[in-house]
DNA sequence: TCTACTGACACATTTGAATGGG
DNA sequence: ACCCATTCAAATGTGTCAGTAG
């Protein structure tokens, strides 16, 4: 609610960040380009982009680290897959972040959105992912707002930030605010840090952080068995499926056998056939354990049938279990070319299980220490392809012994080293190889009374805390008084902000791309024809009071494209105070009309705005091993996120590697195509929380932004919907901004029904 | 027939209420 | 009466698998 207006700013449009990869130091992403490494010097085109106050990047030192970068890279080395279900599925690994450089006294909002990496649909074939066609029409973008938002910089910096509550769904009609994605598509999560001074006012810039290693392909069922194994061994919720779990393959087989045996016995009893039951009945009927053993024997040919072993297996002590896990994990790691030996040895004598499994947290991924340096082959599942020359030739380039998959189109893990290959990225020390360790959980974590908090973990004591920081982020609802106020004020500010932002956006000529070389934007690459303009979207200060709405600003110089893509934003939680708020007299389903929120321009000519496909691919060498790919974070000031000039793009290797280039990398995914994201991007902005509805809706002054402000561009009514799941432990406020195709005002009342989401017939 | 998706299933974890002891 | 620890059950998060639809 804080500022719906800011949302548009987030709608940067698809960015070709998939192949971006910027090395960084082990513990420090370099979200924001160091002042010393002024990208502008490397960015083609005008360097004066940030000259304008509104878009002027803040030269603060906001940094965001991906705490569980190592885990992400492990998955990425195999090809991260994310299950999406109709009801919504959490991401694993989750995004665990550390923020620094924020103004402790200023409030910030953290947002998560997930954008397509390319315009392709994938299929898992021959042990790798291949492009099998073009992507489906992009679904409405939804943004997940961290439950703590807004919170002060001190708050964000004092703990690990987790977005584990975010869920992914393939239900295009999802009404729970989950992030809607297409199956078998490749996506890239983005984290936005939006300054919300005075709760309602956008007083600063927006920072967008992208961690290439967090790319993933959505699936409804795991395709790559290695991913399954990694998940089982990393996610506590899947513990039951581990080797020693009761739901393991062996155990399941045993149960299956047992069932068969029972059935057989029954049949035998009924049939009175002594011949068939004589040997079987005594074993399984007498002792279930024996049955399991039988099952194990049947499934494990190498072991043979040993009832005592079976029972022992069932009662494995922790140490034994750990040993098994270690062996298992080691085998798995070897499969993916990751040498866990170091990590295992570092786990305080416990085992990988401790570091990688036991400490794993559904919310907080295991903070095992991995050394990518030891990685031998990250592309086990993918055929190795000729490694293009790169600045990292000297580095151990994975020549992937696993060439079983000849498909060149299935590149192994590829995190294009932005720095290495991109002239625009400064070659910082971060390029150096590094071991990935996890920041020690903030004191606040340990202070938490929750079990997880008690089990604080750190790189130094990985096994001590399975749930290091979750309590912080999860439990920290941090309901803030402001929210109540925001409820009463936001609608106004929001509207005005939106208006303003839109105007700002609209007023920005395409020529703004020339400013793409801004310091902050250097790392960000707008998707095709993204005319963004995000820079100004957040610059409009909301009026403190609803009634104080003031027309924004500058009239639109040009209309937004009708097919621009609105972005939806989900408000994860609302303080209990707000939830309890009642707004008598408010319409049950008010909607806030947010004209022209969408700022995303269509991508008619991707080639024009996107880096040319043929541009040099980042050094494969650096990409071949996660080890050489420090968890990079692409930080971009929203205000500066602009499309990269064609010329610039073409010269930006890191922006969009060519398929061939990708194939040469270790990316688990096929090369990202430089195709444009379907111009049909649609965003929704729906406010779920009931408490917010009235506020957003009602007060909207009839004198909303003059129609003139939104000339030929259809408006995107903000549809407010009462959260059907207000009982959730963490109330979610979801904002969806729905784009009305060619129908600026499909409803007599600007406030449409939330159910109108179904109107997205275009999908 | 193949591929992708769905829902039921079993297991593990998390969470909060209930209970009992100090 | 209060606090704390333990126990229990429900809710939730997992991957698996059989069935289904296109």
Give the closest nucleotide to A225 (alpha carbon vs C1'): C15
In this predicted model, which residue has the larger pLDDT, A479 or A200? A200
Give the closest nucleotide to A227 (alpha carbon vs C1'): C15
Rounded, the Å distance between the CA of A573 and C1' of C1 is 36
The residue that minimises its CA distance to C1' of C13 is A237
Give the closest nucleotide to A451 (alpha carbon vs C1'): B14
Would you tell me how many other CB atoms lie within 10 Å of the CB of residue A55? 27
Residue A216's pLDDT band (cuts 50, 70, 90): very high
Rounded, the Å distance between the CA of A617 and C1' of C10 is 53
Per-residue pLDDT tens over the stretch A98-138: 999 999 988 899 999 999 999 999 999 888 899 988 888 88
The residue that minimises its CA distance to C1' of B11 is A240
Residue A173: predicted pLDDT: 86
A220 touches strand B (CB under 7 A): yes
Rounded, the Å distance between the CA of A397 and C1' of B1 is 41
Per-residue pLDDT tens over the stretch A702-750: 333 333 222 222 222 222 222 323 222 232 333 332 222 223 232 222 2
The nucleotides of chain B lying under 7 Å from a protein CB are 3-7, 10-16
In this predicted model, which residue has the larger pLDDT, A193 or A442? A193
Q: Given the structure tokens 């070897």, which residue do they identify?
A: A334
Residue A353: predicted pLDDT: 34
Averaged over A138-153, what is the pLDDT?
Answer: 85
What tokens does A64 get? 């965001």
Rounded, the Å distance between the CA of A239 and C1' of B10 is 12
A457 touches strand B (CB under 7 A): no
Rounded, the Å distance between the CA of A238 and C1' of B17 is 26
Give the closest nucleotide to A83 (alpha carbon vs C1'): C15
In this predicted model, which residue has the larger pLDDT, A686 or A166? A166
- Res A283 pLDDT > 70: no
Q: Give residues 373-402 of chain A lying near strand B (Cβ < 7 A).
A: none
Averaged over A272-284, what is the pLDDT?
Answer: 31
Give the closest nucleotide to A234 (alpha carbon vs C1'): C14
List, in sequence order, every residue forming a beta bridge with A124; answer none if it has no partner.
Answer: A129
A231 touches strand C (CB under 7 A): yes
- Res A270 pLDDT > 50: no
A612 touches strand C (CB under 7 A): no
A255 touches strand B (CB under 7 A): yes
**φ/ψ of residue A536, rounded to 5:** -100, -10
A222 touches strand C (CB under 7 A): yes
Residue A190: predicted pLDDT: 93
Residues in contact with A345: Cβ distance below 8 Å, sequence separation at least 6, in sequence order: none
A467 touches strand C (CB under 7 A): no
A245 touches strand B (CB under 7 A): yes
Task: Look over chain A and give the mean of its residue pLDDT values, rounded to a whole number.
Answer: 46
Rounded, the Å distance between the CA of A481 and C1' of B8 is 44
A235 touches strand C (CB under 7 A): yes
A238 touches strand C (CB under 7 A): yes
A468 touches strand C (CB under 7 A): no
Would you tell me how many other CB atoms lie within 10 Å of the CB of residue A219? 20
Residue A259's pLDDT band (cuts 50, 70, 90): low
Rounded, the Å distance between the CA of A320 and C1' of C21 is 45
Per-residue pLDDT tens over the stretch A338-375: 333 333 333 333 333 333 333 333 344 433 333 232 23
In this predicted model, which residue has the larger pLDDT, A240 or A315? A240
Give the closest nucleotide to A363 (alpha carbon vs C1'): C13
In this predicted model, which residue has the larger pLDDT, A390 or A162? A162
Residue A172: predicted pLDDT: 86
For residues A250 and A292, what is the distance between their CA atoms, to the nearest angstrom? 9
A233 touches strand B (CB under 7 A): no
CB A611 within 8 A of CB A656: yes
Residue A255: predicted pLDDT: 65
A123 touches strand C (CB under 7 A): no
Residues in contact with A67: Cβ distance below 8 Å, sequence separation at least 6, in sequence order: A96, A97, A98, A160, A367, A438, A439, A469
What tokens does A106 get? 């200023």
Residue A175's pLDDT band (cuts 50, 70, 90): confident
Give the closest nucleotide to A88 (alpha carbon vs C1'): C13
Rounded, the Å distance between the CA of A221 and C1' of B7 is 13
In this predicted model, which residue has the larger pLDDT, A575 or A191? A191
* Of the listed ranges A139-153, A438-452, A558-572, the one predicted with least confidence: A438-452
Give the closest nucleotide to A729 (alpha carbon vs C1'): B15
Q: Give residues 130-169 of chain A lying near strand C (Cβ < 7 A).
A: 167
Rounded, the Å distance between the CA of A314 and C1' of C7 is 24
Q: Give residues 471-530 of chain A lying near strand B (Cβ < 7 A).
A: 474-475
A228 touches strand C (CB under 7 A): yes
CA angle at A593 for the pair A588 and A596, rounded to the nearest 5°? 155
CB A600 within 8 A of CB A530: yes
CB A398 within 8 A of CB A624: yes
For A452-489, letters b (16+ CB in 10 Å) and e give bbebbbbbebbbbbbbbbbbbbbbbbbbbebbbebbbb
Averaged over A309-336, what is the pLDDT?
Answer: 33
Residue A244: predicted pLDDT: 67
Averaged over A2-19, what is the pLDDT?
Answer: 32
Residue A64's pLDDT band (cuts 50, 70, 90): very high
List, in sequence order, every residue forming a beta bridge with A594; answer none if it has no partner.
Answer: A716
Q: Give residues 56-75 of chain A lying near strand B (Cβ < 7 A).
A: none
Residue A254: predicted pLDDT: 67
Strands (E), A445-584: 569-571
Q: Specify burial of residue A221 (Cβ count, 10 A radius: 0-12, 13-18, 19+).
A: exposed
For residues A12 and A530, what is the distance between their CA atoms, to the nearest angstrom? 7
In this predicted model, which residue has the larger pLDDT, A171 or A699? A171
- Res A80 pLDDT > 60: yes
For residues A484 and A541, what is the distance between their CA atoms, to the nearest angstrom? 18
- Res A72 pLDDT > 50: yes
Q: Given the structure tokens 């598509």, which residue do they identify?
A: A185
Please give the share of chain A, as a percent, with pLDDT higher than 90. 10
| Short-list A497, A498, A500, A493, CA closest to A554 | A500
The DSSP code for A26 is: S
Rounded, the Å distance between the CA of A611 and C1' of B16 is 53
In this predicted model, which residue has the larger pLDDT, A175 or A254? A175
- Supply the pTM of this predicted model: 0.48
Rounded, the Å distance between the CA of A147 and C1' of B9 is 32
A467 touches strand B (CB under 7 A): yes
A240 touches strand B (CB under 7 A): yes
Residue A279's pLDDT band (cuts 50, 70, 90): very low
A183 touches strand B (CB under 7 A): yes
Please give the share of chain A, as a percent, with pLDDT higher than 70. 23
For residues A264 and A596, what is the distance between their CA atoms, to the nearest angstrom? 68
Averaged over A473-486, what is the pLDDT?
Answer: 29
Rounded, the Å distance between the CA of A237 and C1' of B14 is 10
The nucleotides of chain C lying under 7 Å from a protein CB are 12-18
Averaged over A574-584, what is the pLDDT?
Answer: 31
Residue A733: predicted pLDDT: 32
CB A593 within 8 A of CB A748: no
3-state helix, strand, coil in chain A (%, to 5): 35, 15, 55
| Short-list A516, A674, A491, CA closest to A594 | A491
Rounded, the Å distance between the CA of A432 and C1' of C12 is 42
| DSSP-based three-state secondary structure for A470 | helix
Rounded, the Å distance between the CA of A317 and C1' of C9 is 26
Q: Where are the alpha helices (DSSP H) in A362-461?
A: 418-421, 443-447, 451-454
List, in sequence order, every residue forming a beta bridge with A735; answer none if it has no partner.
Answer: A569
Rounded, the Å distance between the CA of A273 and C1' of C16 is 34
Give the closest nucleotide to A247 (alpha carbon vs C1'): B11
A89 touches strand C (CB under 7 A): yes
Rounded, the Å distance between the CA of A170 and C1' of B5 is 10
Averaged over A547-561, what is the pLDDT?
Answer: 32
A305 touches strand B (CB under 7 A): no
For residues A213 and A413, what is the distance between their CA atoms, to the nearest angstrom? 9
Q: Give residues 703-732 of chain A lying near strand C (Cβ < 7 A).
A: 728
Residues in contact with A349: Cβ distance below 8 Å, sequence separation at least 6, in sequence order: none
Per-residue pLDDT tens over the stretch A404-436: 333 333 333 333 322 222 222 222 222 222 222
Per-residue pLDDT tens over the stretch A605-627: 322 222 232 222 333 322 323 33
Residue A208: predicted pLDDT: 92
Rounded, the Å distance between the CA of A256 and C1' of B9 is 13
- Res A570 pLDDT > 80: no
């Amino acid at each position: 609610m804080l500022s719906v207006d800011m949302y548009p700013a987030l709608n940067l449009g698809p960015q070709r960040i998939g192949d971006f990869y910027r090395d960084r130091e082990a513990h420090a992403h370099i979200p924001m380009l160091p002042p010393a490494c002024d990208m502008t010097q490397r960015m083609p085109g005008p360097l004066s982009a940030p000259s304008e106050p509104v878009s002027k990047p803040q030269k603060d030192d906001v940094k965001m680290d991906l705490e569980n970068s190592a885990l992400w890279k492990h998955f990425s080395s195999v090809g991260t897959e994310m299950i999406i279900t109709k009801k919504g599925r959490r991401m694993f690994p989750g995004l665990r972040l550390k923020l620094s450089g924020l103004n402790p006294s200023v409030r910030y909002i953290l947002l998560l959105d997930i954008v397509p990496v390319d315009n392709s649909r994938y299929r898992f074939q021959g042990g790798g992912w291949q492009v099998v066609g073009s992507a489906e029409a992009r679904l409405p973008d939804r943004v997940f707002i961290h439950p703590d938002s807004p919170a002060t910089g001190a708050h964000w910096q004092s703990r690990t930030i987790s977005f584990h509550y975010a869920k992914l769904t393939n239900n295009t009609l999802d009404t729970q605010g989950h992030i809607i994605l297409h199956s078998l598509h490749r996506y890239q999560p983005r984290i936005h840090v939006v300054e919300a001074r005075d709760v309602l006012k956008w007083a600063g810039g927006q920072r967008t952080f992208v961690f290439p290693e967090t790319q993933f392909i959505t699936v409804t069922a795991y395709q790559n068995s290695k991913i399954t194994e990694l998940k089982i061994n990393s996610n506590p919720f899947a513990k039951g499926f581990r080797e020693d779990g009761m739901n393991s393959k062996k155990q399941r087989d045993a149960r299956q056998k047992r069932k068969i045996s029972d059935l057989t016995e029954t049949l035998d009893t009924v049939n009175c056939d002594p011949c068939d039951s004589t040997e079987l009945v005594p074993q399984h009927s007498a002792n279930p354990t024996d049955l399991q053993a039988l099952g194990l024997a049947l499934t494990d040919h190498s072991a043979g049938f040993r009832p005592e072993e079976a029972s022992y297996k069932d009662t494995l002590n922790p140490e034994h279990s750990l040993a098994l896990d270690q062996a298992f994990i080691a085998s798995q790691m070897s499969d993916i070319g990751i040498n866990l030996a170091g990590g295992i040895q570092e786990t305080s004598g416990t085992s990988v299980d401790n570091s990688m499994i036991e400490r794993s947290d559904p919310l907080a991924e295991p903070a095992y220490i991995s050394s990518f340096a030891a990685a031998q082959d990250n592309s086990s599942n993918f055929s190795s392809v000729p490694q293009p020359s790169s600045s990292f030739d000297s580095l151990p380039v994975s020549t992937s012994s696993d060439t079983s998959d000849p498909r060149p189109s299935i590149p192994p893990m590829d995190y294009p080293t932005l720095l290495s290959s991109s002239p625009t990225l400064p070659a910082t020390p971060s390029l150096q190889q590094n071991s990935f360790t996890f920041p020690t959980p903030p004191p606040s974590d340990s202070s938490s009374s929750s079990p997880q908090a008690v089990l604080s973990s750190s790189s130094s004591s990985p096994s001590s805390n399975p749930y290091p920081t979750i309590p912080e982020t999860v439990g920290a609802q941090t309901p803030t008084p402001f929210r109540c106020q925001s409820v009463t004020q936001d609608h106004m500010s929001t509207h005005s902000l939106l208006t303003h932002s839109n105007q700002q956006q609209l007023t920005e000529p395409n020529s703004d791309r020339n400013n793409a070389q801004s310091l902050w934007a250097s790392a960000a690459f707008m998707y095709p024809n993204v005319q963004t303009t995000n820079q100004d979207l957040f610059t409009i200060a909301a009026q403190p009071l609803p009634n104080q709405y003031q027309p924004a600003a500058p009239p639109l110089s040009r209309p937004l494209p009708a097919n621009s893509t609105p972005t939806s934003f989900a408000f994860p939680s609302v303080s209990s105070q707000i939830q309890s708020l009642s707004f008598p007299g408010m319409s049950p389903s008010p909607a806030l009309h947010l004209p022209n929120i969408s700022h995303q321009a269509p991508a008619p000519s991707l080639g024009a705005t996107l880096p040319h496909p043929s541009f040099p691919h980042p050094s494969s060498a650096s990409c071949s091993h996660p080890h050489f790919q420090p968890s990079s974070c692409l930080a971009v000031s929203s205000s500066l996120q602009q499309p990269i000039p064609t010329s610039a793009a073409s010269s930006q290797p890191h922006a969009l590697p060519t398929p061939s280039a990708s194939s040469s990398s270790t990316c688990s995914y096929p090369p990202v195509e430089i195709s444009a994201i379907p111009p049909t991007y649609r965003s929704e902005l729906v406010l779920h929380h009931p408490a917010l509805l009235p506020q957003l809706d009602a007060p909207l002054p009839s004198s909303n932004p003059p129609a003139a402000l939104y000339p030929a561009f259809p408006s995107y009514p903000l549809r407010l919907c009462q959260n059907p799941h207000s009982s959730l432990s963490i109330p979610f406020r979801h904002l969806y901004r729905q784009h009305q195709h060619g129908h600026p005002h499909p409803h007599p009342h600007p406030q449409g029904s939330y159910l109108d989401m179904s109107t997205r017939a275009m999908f």
